[in-house]
Structure 1
Amino acid sequence: MNGTPGLDRPDHRGRTGLDQAGRDLTGNPDVKILDVELLATAWHVLRRTTFDYRHRDGRWTTEQRETYDRGDGATILLYDRERRTVLLTRQFRYPVYVNGHPDGMLVEAAAGLLDDDDPARAIRREAAEELGVTVGELQHVFGVWMSPGSVTERLHFYAAPYTAADRTGPGGGVAEEGEDIEAVELDFDEALRQTTDGRIADAKTVMLLQWAALHGPFRQNADMY
């Protein structure tokens, strides 16, 4: 078949024109996009973009940046204010395992990619799949670019209360996608302590727990830490 997958013919996810991202950007007059090269589309998309950049002293230089585009995502902290607990996940993460984590089993807030859903719908889906929880009222906490030097993903943070009655499904993730996720219910104060000794070392989870202590459902005890 003629053509390049992801460019002028569909790749295995049905995508074309993947080299067009960023070519029409006009919001910053100090940045002029010159070229976008598609480096990989095995699942997500790796691009190399060449652009002219005007520095603060007026100099123009030609720069190149590689960006990894995996789409945007959402995450949620589920909390039980009365019992002072939070419901998290534990799963194997190869990237942390290969970069120094003892066993790669990371404790995290439930999360996932949007996959063309709006963030609220996506995080309800992820909470049901990973933890078996039917989420009621959602609170949007903030939206953050987690690794702006190379990854395009913006992560939408949510919080929501839960009770035992809300745990309506088995959780565990989607087996067909290779997910093997354990639900971990922790006392909130213990979870917060674990962010200081390395047992919880996932950025989004640390951020949500600190938000809960400083501004969220457990803020009355923030002075303890």
Structure 2
Amino acid sequence: MTSPFQFSASDVHIERRETVFQGFFRLDKLWLTHARFDGKNMPVFTRELFIRGDATCVLPYDPVRDEVVLLEQFRLGALGRDQSPWLLELVAGMNEDGETPEEVARREGQEEAGLTFRSLERICDYLVSPGGTSELVHLYCGLVSAESAGGLYGMEHEHEDIRAHVFSSHEAIEMIRDGRINNAAAIIALQWLQLNRSRLRNEVGL
């Protein structure tokens, strides 16, 4: 059986690329070809690519109180679904040039939830929807004290309107089971917490 990952970026040839839209986001059109599994080359075809850049998301977790902080805010992409377009999400922000994901995590923790992370533990990096967007998410768990967490946050000039909520870890995981939380970053992070919760609590002597 042939092993996976026999190809690399060098097996893709971009014939032409142009930016067809530049606004809050950017959309490029590409004409490309690439190697095929049967040894031939794909005929030149076109695809649109949503250029979004990398982002960092953090699940704030208090191992002493066994609580998480989740943010509620409006998301345009959820409009028109059979649900509220106000979602429960993680602390998150776009990575600016020269910033490390850890720096983004700490900045957004303050801006979006008034939180200072004692430490950050990397969960994973994942491609959001690689069939159509370039976005990569750096996902972390940030240890905090949730004792005084909660309230209204957000940068007004960025049109952010955020409410921070505190939930027990059990309740947050139940919201995945019943579908109240249905965005990828929060699902991945909370399932990771489910696997690592005992270790994190043991590390603080609980």
**SS of alignment partner, residue 124 of structure 1:** helix
Specify whether residues 166 and 122 from structure 1 end up closer, same or farther in structure 2 by C-alpha distance, changes over 3 A only: farther
Residue 194 of structure 1 is matched in structure 2 by 175
Q: In the aligned structure 2, how far is the partner of 1:82 from the partner of 1:28?
A: 45
Tell me the TM-score normalized by structure 2. 0.86
Give the aligned length: 193
Instruction: Assess if the C-alpha contact under 8 Å between 1:129 and 1:172 holds in 2.
Output: yes
Matches within 5 A, 1:37-186: 37-60=18-41, 61-98=43-80, 100-116=81-97, 117-164=99-146, 172-186=153-167
Instruction: Assess if the C-alpha contact under 8 Å between 1:71 and 1:114 holds in 2.
Output: yes
Tell me the TM-score normalized by structure 1. 0.79
Higher strand share: 2
Q: In the aligned structure 2, how far is the partner of 1:28 from the partner of 1:141?
A: 26
| Root mean square deviation of aligned Cα | 2.2
Q: Deviations over 1:162-183 (max 9, x none)?
A: 114685x976110111000000
Whose relative contact order is higher, 1 or 2, with alpha carbons under 8 Å and at least 6 apart? 2
Matched residue type, 1:30: D
Matched residue type, 1:124: R
The worse-fitting range, judged by mean Cα deviation, of 58-67 and 30-39 is 58-67
Structure 2: any 5+ residue segments left out of the alignment? 1-7, 201-206
Q: In the aligned structure 1, how far is the partner of 2:16 from the partner of 2:71?
A: 41
Q: In the aligned structure 1, how far is the partner of 2:21 from the partner of 2:199?
A: 45
Instruction: Assess if the C-alpha contact under 8 Å between 1:50 and 1:62 holds in 2.
Output: yes
- Cα distance, 1:101 vs structure 2: 4.3
Percent identity of paired positions between Structure 1 and Structure 2: 32
- Cα distance, 1:95 vs structure 2: 1.0
